[in-house]
A and B are shown apart, each in its own frame.
Chain A
Amino acid sequence: AQSVTQLGSHVSVSEGALVLLRCNYSSSVPPYLFWYVQYPNQGLQLLLKYTSAATLVKGINGFEAEFKKSETSFHLTKPSAHMSDAAEYFCAVSDRNTGRRALTFGSGTRLQVQP
């Protein structure tokens, strides 16, 4: 079964600093990978997704993620944090081969941005 591990349940950065949120997946074949953001009292918004094209994926709001098969990782980065980036971020995976398309989510990382 697929699983996703997000290292660090809380990450705090200063405004303008690099954001790095870590995600590792466990799957026998490279899956589809996603990053979602959840603002307080809201639903999940797709930031970006990897479906086997370019390994460096650019998303919305200046975020990007790089798929590294050798490391089974899909870390999310943003060069310069804004106060508005404070939210919870979820990495998710779905199986491209079995037809099981439901997402398996990581436990989430809460990002705090300090002024």
Chain B
Amino acid sequence: DSGVTQTPKHLITATGQRVTLRCSPRSGDLSVYWYQQSLDQGLQFLIQYYNGEERAKGNILERFSAQQFPDLHSELNLSSLELGDSALYFCASSVEGSGYTFGSGTRLTVV
């Protein structure tokens, strides 16, 4: 157990739908990062939150959004889903300037 908890582990949904992925960071970590892993794109950084505020954006689509709550857990919202959004979505947390701890991921399948 890495200390970073992601739920759900698996999600199957239809095109056009909206889903929410949840991440609880390791205790004491203020930063949360979201990554997408797919066969064709590899591991891509989506977005970072630090202590409730958006810190950096990567290759995140406009259909996707995220937030970090006062208890530091984060949610990634994916809407108007397309087949190409099928991927593993990872959350990682860190103390600034230190290493990154990854969760076990949420596997999203869009059918």
Contacts and interface: CB of A to CB of B under 8 A. Distances in A.
Contacts of A43: 2, 4, 90, 102-105
Given A43-B105, A102-B58, A34 B45 contact: no
A103 B31 CA distance: 13
A107 B101 CA distance: 19
Given A43-B2, A104-B45, 12 more contacts: A34-B99, A42-B104, A44-B102, A45-B102, A51-B97, A90-B43, A100-B56, A103-B45, A103-B92, A105-B35, A105-B42, A106-B42
Contacts of A51: 97
A51 B45 CA distance: 20
Interface of A: 34, 36, 42-46, 49, 51, 90, 100-108
Contact of B33 (A90, A102, A108): A102
B101 A46 contact: yes
Query: Could you say which of A42, A44, A46, A90 has the most chain B C-beta atoms within 10 Å of its C-beta?
Result: A44
State the majority secondary structure of interface residues on B. strand
Contacts, number: 49
B75 to A, nearest CB: 18
Nearest to A108: B42
A44 B33 CA distance: 13
Nearest to B58: A102
A14 to B, nearest CB: 28
28 contacts: A34-B99, A36-B102, A43-B102, A44-B90, A44-B92, A44-B102, A45-B2, A45-B102, A46-B99, A46-B100, A46-B101, A49-B99, A90-B43, A100-B56, A101-B55, A101-B94, A101-B96, A101-B97, A102-B33, A102-B45, A102-B56, A103-B33, A103-B35, A103-B92, A105-B35, A107-B42, A108-B42, A108-B43
